């Protein structure tokens, strides 16, 4: 749980352009992981799920920034 809170707290310092760049980067990484998993099983297939969740958190942070709200870590 602490890793998630640290991740969300690190998003507070990023600007919209940084968030967009990170989203594009993670989407590309996700596609590569999914392709690699389709060819041969990954050693840790949970990494796909973790990356998808991180990507969703990034998109949520971007929408909150666009709405003028601040990203908060909920406990």
CA pair distance 56, 75, nearest whole angstrom: 18
* pTM for this predicted structure: 0.80
Helix (H) / strand (E) element for 65: namely helix 46-67
| Predicted local confidence at residue 69, as pLDDT | 62
pLDDT in tens, 16-63: 999 999 999 999 999 999 999 999 999 999 999 999 999 999 999 999
Q: d(Cα 42, Cα 9) in Å, to the nearest integer?
A: 29
Q: What angle do CA 68, 73, 74 make, to 5 degrees?
A: 110
Domain boundaries, the chain: 2-8+16-67
């Amino acid at each position: 749980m602490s890793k998630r809170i640290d991740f969300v707290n690190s998003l507070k310092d990023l600007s919209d352009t940084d968030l967009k760049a990170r989203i594009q980067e993670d989407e590309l990484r996700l596609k590569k992981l999914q392709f690699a998993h389709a060819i041969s099983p990954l050693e840790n297939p949970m990494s796909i799920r973790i990356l998808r969740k991180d990507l969703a958190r990034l998109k949520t942070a971007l929408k909150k920034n666009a709405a003028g709200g601040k990203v908060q870590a909920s406990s």
